[in-house]
C-alpha cells in the first residue's frame, strides 16, 4: 500500500532520475563489481565477458603480490605522491600571491586582461599543451635548444631523454596550466572581503604589507584550506593527460614520469596484463577512498558547510 | 559639518605605492608573455618554410612566410573535417544530453519531501569517492556493451558527473523557494510541469555554467578516442592531433617510409605538425574572448557559494 501511494506521488521523480541512474549504474557501479578481476587470472577465450569471468582462475592476492614485488609499485606511488604534493603547494602559493597582486592593481582593465591570459592555459587540452612543450623542448628544432641555450653558450639538450629535468618541467607545466583556475577562485574570495577592514587598518596606520598579512591572508585561509584538502583527497590520483601526453611516452623518462594512472593504463592496454593493471587500479581506489574520507573529515572540523559529506 | 579629507589628488588613500604597482605590472607582463609565447611560436613556425626550420630550428620570426604546411594539411582535409565533425557532434549532443540527464536527476534529490532523497544523493555522491578502476570500466564498455568504435562511447562516460549533479542540486535547493513549488502544486501542476516551467527557467545561471564546463570537457577529450576507437571515422579532433604528432614522428624515424614521399626534405614534417596544432587550437582561441568571462563568472559564483 505504501509502495503504491509512493509510486503515485513520486512516480514522476523516479522516471526523471531513471536515465541518470542507469548511466551511473553502467558507467560507475558495474565496474565496481568488476574489481574482483584483480583477484583472478583473466583469460579471454569466450567472446562473452561473463563466461570469461566465470572461467578464469581465482588467484587470490597473486596479482597484488606480483605488483608489489616489482620496483614499479614503489616508483609509481612515489611519483604520484611527490608530484601531487608539490602541485598542492604550488597551487596554493602562486595563485594566492597572484590573486592578491592582481587585486592591488589600480587599473581594473589591466587586472581583467591579465586574468584572461592567465586563465587561458586552463581551457587548453593536454594534447595542445604537449604540442606547446614540444615546440620548446624538441631536441633539434625546439626553441630552447636553438635559441635560448646558445645565449648562455650551453649545448643542446635531449630534453625528452633527460631524466633530471622533468621533476622541474612537469610542475612548471602543471602550474602554468592550472594557476588561472585557482587564481580566479581566490580573487573571488578576496573581493568578498569587506572594505571596512582595510579602511580601519589604514586609519590605524597599517601599510600595504601589513594589511595583506593581517587581513587578506587570514580571511583567505578557510578557502585555502578547503581547496588544499580537496586536493589532498585526490592525492592518489594523477592527472593522466599531464603525465601521458607531455613527456610524449618517452620510455627512458618513466622513472620520473610514470604515475599510478599511467601505469594502470600501460599495463592493461599496452601490455594486456589485466591482472596487474586491475590490482594497481584497486590499490589506487582503496587508498584514494581512505584519503578522501580523511580529508573530508578534516574539512568538516573546520567548516561543516564546505565538507563534501 | 565634517572637514574634507585630505587626499593626494591622483591616488586614493589606500593604494599601492608606485614602486609596488610597477613591480606588479612588470611581473604580470612577463608572466602573461610567458603564457602567450608558446602559442605564438606555434603559429609562427606553422607559417615558416620547412628547410628554414630544419636548418635554424623553431624561430619566432620566420625568414619568409610559407603556407605550404597548411597546403599539405588541407590536402588531407577530409580526415580533419571528419574529426571536427565528430568532436562537434559529440560536444553538442553530449552537452545537451548531459545537462538534461543531470538536471532531471538533480531535481528530485533537491526536494525535501522526496523520501528516497538520501539514498539517491548517496548513489551519485559515492562515485566521487570510489571507482572500479580502468580495467572493469573498459571491459563494461567494450565486452559487455559492445560499444567499441561507437560514437556513443565518446559521449556516455561523460554524461553523469557527480560533481556537476551536486552543484545543480545545491542550486535547486537553495535558490528555488519551496513556496513557489507549493503554490504550483496547489494549482494542480504535475512534477514535470513544475520542473520545466518553473525550476529550469530559474536555474539558467547554474545550467549555463555546467554547460560551459561540460562543453569544455567533451571538446578537449582525447582519452575516450584513445581507449575505445580504432576506426578513423570516429576519431575526435584532439585524438587526430595526438596521432599526427606521433605519426609524423613515425615517418621521420623510419627512413624507408620517407622514401615513398620523396625524402625528408620534401615532407614538411615540422611545419605540418605545427599547422595541425594551429588548426586544432584555432577555434578555441578564437572563441575564448567571448566565453572567458562566463567561465570566470561560473567559478566566481561557485567560490562564493562554497
From A307, A20, A25, A7, select the one nearest B109 (Cα to Cα): A20
Is A277 an interface residue toward B (CB < 8 Å)? yes
| Cβ within 8 Å, pair B108-A19 | no
Any CB–CB contact under 8 A between A131 and chain B?
A: yes
C-alpha span between B219 and A295 (Å, rounded): 32
b/e for A270-303, b at 16 or more Cβ within 10 A?
eeebbbbbbbbbbbbbebbbebbeebbebbeeee
In a domain, A141, yes or no: yes
Q: Does residue A292 lie in a domain region?
A: no
d(CA A95, CA A91): 6
Residue A125 within a domain: yes
Cβ separation A35–B138 shorter than 8 A: no
CA distances A238 to A166, A233, A284, B154, B220, Å, are 16, 12, 10, 22, 18
Question: How confident is the model over A56-81, as a mean pLDDT?
Answer: 90
Helices (H) and strands (E) in chain A, counts: 17, 2
* Cross-chain Cβ contact A281/B241 below 8 Å: no
At which residue does the C-alpha cell 578557510 appear? A222
Inter-chain touch B270–A141, beta carbons under 8 Å: yes
- Chain A residues closer than 8 Å to B125 by CB: 308-309
How many distinct structural domains can be found in chain B? 1
Interchain CB distance below 8 Å, B57 and A143: yes
Give the ranges where A70-165 is alpha helix by DSSP (H). 71-104, 108-123, 126-137, 143, 149-151
- Contact criterion met (CB below 8 Å) for B236 and B225: yes
Q: What is the mean pLDDT of chain A?
A: 89
Q: Does the CB of B133 have a partner CB in chain A at under 8 Å?
A: yes
Cell numbers 565533425 correspond to B85
Q: Say if A17 falls within a structural domain.
A: no
Q: What is the pTM of this model?
A: 0.88
pLDDT at residue B250, rounded to an integer: 39
Q: What's the domain count of chain A?
A: 1
d(Cα B306, Cα B300) in Å, to the nearest integer?
A: 10
Domain that includes residue B123, residue range: 69-305
Of residues A20, A38, A48, nearest to B102 (C-beta): A20
Which of A21, A55, A141, A179 best probes binding to B when mutated, by most B CB atoms within 10 angstroms? Answer: A141
B20–A104 CB contact, under 8 Å: yes
A124 contacts in B (CB within 8 Å)? 220, 281, 284
Residues 46-105 of chain B whose Cβ lies under 8 A from any Cβ of chain A:
53-54, 56-60, 101-102, 104-105
Q: A268–B108: do the CB atoms touch at under 8 Å?
A: no
- The three cell numbers of residue B225 are 578516442
Across the interface, whether the CB atoms of A128 and B242 are under 8 A apart is answered no
User: What pLDDT is stored for residue A264 in this prediction?
Assistant: 94
Residues of B in contact with A300 (CB under 8 A): none
| Confidence class for position A163, pLDDT limits 50, 70, 90 | very high
Burial class (CB in 10 A: 0-12, 13-18, 19+), B204: exposed
> Does residue A113 contact residue B25 with C-beta atoms inside 8 Å?
no
Residues 6+ apart with CB under 8 A from B243: B235
Task: Read off the C-alpha cell for B115.
Answer: 523520501
CA of B132: which chain A residue's CA is closest?
A32
- Looking at the complex, does the CB of residue B217 fall below 8 Å from at least one CB of chain A? no
Which B residues, 5 through 44, put their C-beta within 8 Å of a C-beta on chain A?
11, 13-17, 20-21, 24-25, 27-28, 31-32, 34-36, 38-39, 41-42
A94 lies in a domain?
yes
Q: Which residue of A has its CA nearest to B145?
A: A26
Is the minimum CB–CB distance between B196 and chain A shorter than 8 Å?
no
A182-228 residue pLDDT tens: 999 999 999 889 889 998 998 988 888 888 898 999 999 888 988 88
pLDDT number for residue B306? 43
Domain contains B21: no
Residue A8's contacts (CB-CB under 8 Å, 6 or more residues apart) are none
Query: Which of B294, B293, B252, B290 shows the shortest CA–CA distance to B269?
Result: B252
Residue A103 lies in a domain: yes
Does B52 reside within a domain?
Answer: no
Whether the CB of A106 is below 8 Å from some CB of chain B: the reply is yes
Residue numbers of chain B with a pLDDT score lower than 70: 1-14, 76, 248-267, 302-306
| A198 close to B (CB below 8 A) | yes
Q: Is residue A138 part of a domain?
A: yes
Structure confidence at residue B303 (pLDDT): 59
Chain B closest CA to A33's CA: distance in Å?
7
For A291, the grid coordinates are 584519503
- Among all chains, which residue has been given the C-alpha cell 635531449? A158
| pLDDT interval class at A37 (50, 70, 90) | confident
Determine whether the interchain pair A293/B129 forms a contact, defined as Cβ–Cβ distance below 8 Å: yes
Nearest to A188 among B58, B288, B300 (CB): B300
- Residue A112 CA to residue A109 CA, distance in Å, equals 5
Q: What is the pLDDT of residue A306?
A: 59
Collapsing DSSP states into helix, strand and coil, what is residue B147?
coil
Q: Could you give the count of Cα atoms lying within 13 Å of B176 in the half-sphere of its Cβ? A: 30
Res B253: pLDDT: 42
The minimal CB distance from A119 to the residues B27, B227, B296 is found for B296
Burial of A145 (0-12, 13-18, 19+ CB in 10 A): buried
Count of beta carbons in the 10 Å neighbourhood of residue A255: 15
Contacts of A187 in chain B (CB under 8 A): 300
- Cell triple for residue A303? 567548516
Q: Is residue B53 part of a domain?
A: no
Cβ-defined contact of A35 to B111 (cutoff 8 Å): no
CATH number assigned to the domain comprising residue B279 = 1.10.3720.10
Instruction: Give the count of Cβ contacts less than 8 A between chain A and B.
Output: 297
- Residues spanned by the domain of A150: 79-253
Residue of B nearest to A105 (CA): B21
Q: Does residue B38 belong to any structural domain of this protein?
A: no
Distance (Å) from the C-alpha of residue A178 to the closest C-alpha of chain B? 12
Angle at B218 between CA A176 and CA B237, to 5 degrees: 85
Is residue B3 a part of any domain in this protein? no
Which residues on chain B are in Cβ contact (under 8 Å) with A113?
A: 32
- A237 part of a folded domain: yes
Does residue B208 sit within a domain? yes
Q: What would the mean pLDDT of A164-191 be, rounded to a whole number?
A: 94
CA distance A277 to B139: 13
Provide the CATH number for the domain around residue A204. Answer: 1.10.3720.10
Amino acid at each position: 500500500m505504501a509502495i503504491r501511494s509512493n509510486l503515485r506521488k513520486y512516480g514522476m521523480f523516479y522516471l526523471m532520475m531513471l536515465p541518470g541512474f542507469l548511466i551511473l549504474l553502467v558507467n560507475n557501479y558495474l565496474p565496481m563489481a568488476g574489481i574482483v578481476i584483480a583477484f583472478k587470472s583473466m583469460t579471454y577465450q569466450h567472446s562473452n565477458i561473463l563466461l570469461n569471468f566465470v572461467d578464469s582462475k581465482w588467484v587470490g592476492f597473486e596479482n597484488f603480490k606480483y605488483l608489489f614485488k616489482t620496483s614499479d609499485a614503489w616508483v609509481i606511488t612515489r611519483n604520484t605522491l611527490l608530484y601531487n604534493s608539490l602541485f598542492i603547494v604550488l597551487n596554493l602559493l602562486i595563485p594566492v600571491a597572484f590573486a592578491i597582486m592582481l587585486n592591488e592593481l589600480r587599473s581594473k582593465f589591466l587586472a581583467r586582461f591579465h586574468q584572461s591570459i592567465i586563465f587561458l592555459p586552463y581551457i587548453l587540452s593536454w594534447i595542445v599543451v604537449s604540442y606547446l612543450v614540444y615546440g620548446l623542448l624538441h631536441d633539434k628544432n625546439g626553441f630552447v635548444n636553438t635559441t635560448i641555450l646558445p645565449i648562455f653558450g650551453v649545448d643542446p639538450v635531449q630534453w625528452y631523454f633527460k631524466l633530471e629535468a622533468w621533476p622541474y618541467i612537469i610542475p612548471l607545466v602543471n602550474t602554468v596550466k592550472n594557476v588561472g583556475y585557482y587564481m580566479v577562485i581566490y580573487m573571488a574570495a578576496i573581493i568578498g572581503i569587506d572594505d571596512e577592514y582595510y579602511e580601519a587598518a589604514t586609519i590605524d596606520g597599517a601599510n600595504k604589507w601589513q594589511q595583506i598579512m593581517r587581513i587578506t591572508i587570514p580571511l583567505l585561509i578557510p578557502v585555502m584550506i578547503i581547496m588544499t584538502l580537496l586536493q589532498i583527497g585526490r592525492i592518489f590520483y594523477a592527472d593522466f593527460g599531464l603525465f601521458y601526453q607531455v613527456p610524449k611516452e618517452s620510455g627512458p623518462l618513466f622513472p620520473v614520469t610514470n604515475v599510478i594512472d599511467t601505469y594502470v593504463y600501460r599495463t592493461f592496454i599496452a601490455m594486456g596484463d589485466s591482472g596487474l593493471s586491475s590490482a594497481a587500479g584497486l590499490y589506487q581506489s582503496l587508498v584514494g577512498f581512505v584519503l578522501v574520507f580523511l580529508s573530508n573529515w578534516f574539512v568538516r572540523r573546520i567548516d561543516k558547510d564546505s565538507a563534501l559529506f | 559639518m565634517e572637514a574634507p579629507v585630505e587626499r593626494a589628488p591622483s591616488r586614493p588613500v589606500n593604494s599601492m605605492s608606485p614602486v609596488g604597482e610597477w613591480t606588479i605590472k612588470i611581473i604580470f607582463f612577463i608572466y602573461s608573455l610567458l603564457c602567450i609565447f608558446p602559442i605564438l611560436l606555434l603559429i609562427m613556425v606553422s607559417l615558416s618554410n620547412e628547410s628554414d626550420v630544419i636548418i635554424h630550428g623553431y624561430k619566432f620570426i620566420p625568414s619568409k612566410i610559407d603556407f605550404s604546411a597548411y597546403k599539405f594539411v588541407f590536402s588531407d582535409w577530409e580526415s580533419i573535417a571528419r574529426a571536427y565533425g565528430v568532436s562537434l557532434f559529440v560536444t553538442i549532443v553530449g552537452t545537451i544530453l548531459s545537462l538534461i540527464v543531470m538536471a532531471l536527476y538533480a531535481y528530485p534529490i533537491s526536494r525535501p519531501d522526496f523520501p528516497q532523497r538520501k539514498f539517491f544523493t548517496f548513489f551519485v555522491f559515492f562515485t566521487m569517492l570510489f571507482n572500479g578502476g580502468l580495467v572493469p570500466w573498459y571491459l563494461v564498455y567494450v565486452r559487455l556493451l559492445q560499444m567499441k568504435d561507437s560514437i556513443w562511447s565518446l559521449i556516455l562516460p561523460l554524461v553523469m558527473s557527480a560533481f556537476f549533479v551536486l552543484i545543480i542540486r545545491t542550486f535547486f535547493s537553495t535558490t528555488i523557494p519551496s513556496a513557489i513549488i507549493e503554490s504550483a502544486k496547489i494549482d494542480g501542476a504535475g512534477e514535470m510541469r513544475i520542473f520545466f516551467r518553473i525550476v529550469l527557467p530559474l536555474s539558467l545561471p547554474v545550467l549555463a555554467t555546467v554547460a560551459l564546463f561540460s562543453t569544455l570537457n567533451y571538446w578537449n577529450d582525447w582519452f575516450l578516442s584513445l581507449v575505445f576507437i580504432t576506426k578513423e571515422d570516429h576519431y575526435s579532433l584532439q585524438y587526430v592531433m595526438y596521432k599526427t604528432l606521433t605519426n609524423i614522428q613515425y615517418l621521420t624515424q623510419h627512413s624507408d617510409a620517407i622514401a615513398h614521399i620523396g625524402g625528408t626534405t620534401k615532407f614538411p614534417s615540422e611545419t605540418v605538425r605545427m599547422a595541425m596544432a594551429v588548426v586544432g587550437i584555432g577555434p578555441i582561441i578564437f572563441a575564448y574572448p567571448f566565453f572567458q568571462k562566463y567561465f570566470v563568472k561560473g567559478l566566481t559564483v561557485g567560490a562564493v557559494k562554497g
